[in-house]
Amino acid sequence: EAQVTQNPRYLITVTGKKLTVTCSQNMNHEYMSWYRQDPGLGLRQIYYSMNVEVTDKGDVPEGYKVSRKEKRNFPLILESPSPNQTSLYFCASSLKGTDTQYFGPGTRLTVL
């Protein structure tokens, strides 16, 4: 089954404790992206990757890191999480950036 998986689905952590949210797709997509969703703000792009080893900032990259060492994986790293990073996070992939994006199920992150 074609899908985008994210782990964990829910995470509660404390300020400053490094964490990684994994994202994996099995569709051989070149394009992958991370978004955060906050009430009243819609989805905002954090980082995107057009292909392996190619990543670039979206609209809200501060406090986040990404890497794309393999085509299928695109982890999101919060090296020192803060409460303002409490949000719902989505990973997405597509064949190209202009194609339909396939979204993961979301990760609800709470930073205390």
Partner 1 sequence: AQTVTQSQPEMSVQEAETVTLSCTYDTSESDYYLFWYKQPPSRQMILVIRQEAYKQQNATENRFSVNFQKAAKSFSLKISDSQLGDAAMYFCAFSPLAGEKLTFGTGTRLTIIP
**Could you list the residues that contact partner 1 (CB under 8 A)?**
31, 33, 35, 40-45, 48, 50, 56, 58-59, 88, 90, 92, 96-101, 103, 105-106
Helix (H, G, I), strand (E, B) or coil at 85: helix
Rounded to the nearest whole angstrom, what is the least distance from the CB of residue 24 to partner 1 in the complex? 17
Rounded to the nearest whole angstrom, what is the least distance from the CB of residue 99 to partner 1 in the complex? 8
Sequence-distant (6+) residues with CB within 8 A of 86 are 109, 110, 111
**Residue among 88, 67, 86 at smallest CA distance from 22:** 67
Rounded to the nearest whole angstrom, what is the least distance from the CB of residue 29 to partner 1 in the complex? 12
**Nearest residue (CB) to partner 1, 14 versus 41:** 41
**Nearest residue (CB) to partner 1, 4 versus 80:** 4
CA–CA separation, 92 and 29 (whole Å): 10
Residue 86 tokens read as 């409490």
